[in-house]
């Protein structure tokens, strides 16, 4: 038994079917997925502002078992979908017929024991997943979708273990002006990154992608240092004046808040905290000091 923390997602529309080629990078298929959801204006360079989750539909019955039985882990996202969402096998072995759904991150975390039976979580979990309208809805009308963030859009559909019936959730980062501005400052104070909207994606510019991230660290990195910071390194969030940071699902380089390594679960930021980039906080490639400024 262990306590786990999962994000609560809201499925705003029914899942729809799409076809993906097993040998193509998910980055290529993502445009088709976004187009099927109605977002036809997205460019390849905009994908840094989307999170993609891959998971499966889990029926809620007495035989479903626990979160542990379903391999749900800290950092995953869960959402409720209609249990009658259709799924048919793909006509070709080289293709995958998947379900696609737009998932809105509610910003809420559920902390729960991983050995608690899923069917008994209905009264507490599903009102969070779908709002008050689900509070009295019978569990057999809905199913649980549990997704895990895609680590690399360059991986193929097959490499990611996407199978017929897998459900792919897409979350667009929705920006809002913050109550408290975040200032990330080099220790010598010669460079300051001012962040006044969230969420904000931090990373470095890649010549193969025209669109820059929100916080581009390229300007403070020497050419030989750039590989020690991922193109998509971290996501910064702000809630009621409190900032937090989490590792971007596609990050390959480690980072730290003081001596604490940053992972998928958000880490709260305090005045004077030091963000360190590199293999170890005592041997950083880059450091930024956290400051705040309120209206």
Three-state secondary structure readout of the chain = CCEEEEEEEEECCCCEEEEEECCCEHHHHHHHHHHHCCCCCCCHHHHHHEEEEEEEEEECCCCCCECCCCCCCCCCEEEEEECCCCCCCCCCCCEEEEEEEEEEEEEEEEEEECCCEHHHHHHHHHHHHHCHHHCCCCHHHEEEEEEEECCCCCCECCCCCCCCCCEEEEEECCCEEEEEEEEEECCCCCCEEEEEEECEEEECCCCCCCCCCCEEHHHHCCHHHHHHCCCEEEEEEEECCEEEEEECCCCCCCEEECCEECCCCCEECCCCCEEEECCCCCCCCEEEEEEEEEC
Q: Which residue has the tokens 């910064």?
A: 236
What pLDDT is stored for residue 110 in this prediction?
Answer: 78
Closest to 103 measured CA to CA, from 76, 121, 84: 76
pTM: 0.71
* Pairing status of strand 260-261 against strand 255-257: antiparallel
Q: What is the pLDDT along the chain (295 residues), one digit of tens a residue?
A: 788 888 888 776 778 888 888 888 887 887 777 777 765 555 444 567 778 889 888 877 778 888 888 888 888 888 877 766 666 665 666 788 888 888 877 777 778 888 888 777 666 665 655 555 555 566 567 778 888 888 777 788 888 888 888 888 888 777 778 788 999 999 876 788 999 888 899 998 776 655 578 899 988 888 888 888 988 899 998 888 889 999 998 888 999 999 899 988 889 999 999 999 988 888 888 999 999 987 6
What pLDDT is stored for residue 234 in this prediction?
Answer: 93
Distance of CA 87 to the CA centre of its chain: 24
What pLDDT is stored for residue 245 in this prediction?
Answer: 93
Structural domains in the chain, sorted by start: 3-172 (no CATH), 176-294 (2.60.200.20)
């Amino acid at each position: 038994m262990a306590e786990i923390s999962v994000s609560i997602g809201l499925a705003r529309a029914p899942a729809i079917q799409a076809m993906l080629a097993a040998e193509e990078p998910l980055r290529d298929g993502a445009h088709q997925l976004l187009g099927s959801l109605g977002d036809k204006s997205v460019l390849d360079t905009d994908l840094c502002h989307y999170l993609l989750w891959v998971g499966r539909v889990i029926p809620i019955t007495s035989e479903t078992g626990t979160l542990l039985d379903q391999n749900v882990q800290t950092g995953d996202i869960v959402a409720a979908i209609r249990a009658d969402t259709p799924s048919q096998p793909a006509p070709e072995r080289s293709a995958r017929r998947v379900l696609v759904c737009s998932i809105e991150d509610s910003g809420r975390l559920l902390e729960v024991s991983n050995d608690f039976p899923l069917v008994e979580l209905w009264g507490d979990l599903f009102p969070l997943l779908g709002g008050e309208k689900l509070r009295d809805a019978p569990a057999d009308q809905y199913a649980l979708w549990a997704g895990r963030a895609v680590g690399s859009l360059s991986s193929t559909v097959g490499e990611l273990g996407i199978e017929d019936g897998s459900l792919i959730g897409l979350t667009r980062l929705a920006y809002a002006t913050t109550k408290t501005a975040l200032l990330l400052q080099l220790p010598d104070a010669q460079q300051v990154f001012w962040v006044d909207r969230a969420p904000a994606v931090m990373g470095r510019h890649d010549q193969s992608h025209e669109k820059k991230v929100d916080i581009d660290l390229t300007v403070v990195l020497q050419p030989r240092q750039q590989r020690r910071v991922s193109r998509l390194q971290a996501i910064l969030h702000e809630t009621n004046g409190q900032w937090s940071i989490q590792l971007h699902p596609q990050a390959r380089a480690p980072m730290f808040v003081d001596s604490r390594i940053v992972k998928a679960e958000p880490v709260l930021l305090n005045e004077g905290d030091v963000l360190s980039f590199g293999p170890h906080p005592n041997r950083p490639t880059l450091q930024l000091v956290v400051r705040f400024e309120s209206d």
